Amino acid sequence: MTKTLRIAHCSDIHLDGDGYHHSLSGDAHSAYRDAFAHALATMQTHKPDLMLLAGDLFDANSASADTIEWSMSILEKQPFPILMIPGNHDCMGGDAIYRRYDFNQIPNVDNLTAEAGEIAYVKNLGAAVWGKGMVDHSPEFDPLGGCPERPDDCDWFLGMGHGIHVPHGAETGRSSPIHMSDIEASTCDYLALGHHHAALELVTDKATAAYSGSPTDGVGRGATYVIIDLAETSEAKVTVHAIGDAA
């Protein structure tokens, strides 16, 4: 087993958003790009082994070609593998961005879009990463449904899901529910979650998971991302980092 693994986790960037809900002034499209570029540069300072991007890179599937191509370019420039899933804003329904643009052609990117879920391997790290492509953001969509048992051929098993957190004993009729019981039933060493713009650690004696918050939204603790340290001989460490002025 690789003795340690450091993960950068972010989600909910919403490139090409209008900024209406985030009080962004001026050119909102440029503000989102600048904030994401700043977040990536800040995450690089932690020297992560890989990055998990848990949905909503884009605000809508109608994002401009220029923004999509810009995102592909900046992801390719990162000095670590990036594994990503669609979110509810950039889901796989209709004329999806990820049907028109193949992010898997980027050498350091694996975009997990299979509706039933799929695993990508980062072999030099001994890591297996599971995720699934959301087609329809509805109460019937189960973001963690079908997550397999831990593969035999990996040292680290990581998962991603995009949806609303449902605590123990709670119920919801909202779309894409992620129940705490499903989180704790997972065999993943870490579950990277997206959809909540406020960061939320979900660490128990049965599971290690978190919502990273958004690096382009000031809700909760502000613009945030998460760094996770996994080690063979100690408990996982999940740290939420506030970026400050994200732009």
- Asked, for residue 77, whether it belongs to a domain, the answer is yes
Judge whether 7 and 48 are in contact, CB under 8 Å: yes
The answer on pLDDT for 114 being more than 70 is yes
The answer on pLDDT for 22 being more than 60 is no
What is the average pLDDT across 224-236? 95
- Asked, for residue 247, whether it belongs to a domain, the answer is no
Predicted pLDDT of residue 19: 63
Q: pLDDT digit string (tens) for 72-90?
A: 999 999 999 999 999 999 9
Q: pLDDT digit string (tens) for 115-135?
A: 999 999 999 999 999 999 999
Q: What is the number of structural domains in the chain?
A: 1
- Asked, for residue 96, whether it belongs to a domain, the answer is yes
What is the average pLDDT across 209-222? 95
Predicted pLDDT of residue 247: 38
What DSSP element (H or E) covers 182?
A: helix 180-185
Predicted pLDDT of residue 246: 41
Q: Report the C-alpha gap between 36 and 43 in whole angstroms.
A: 10
Query: What CATH number has the domain bearing residue 99?
Result: 3.60.21.10
- Asked, for residue 160, whether it belongs to a domain, the answer is yes
Judge whether 224 and 213 are in contact, CB under 8 Å: yes
Predicted pLDDT of residue 233: 87
Binned at pLDDT 50, 70 and 90, residue 21 comes out as very low
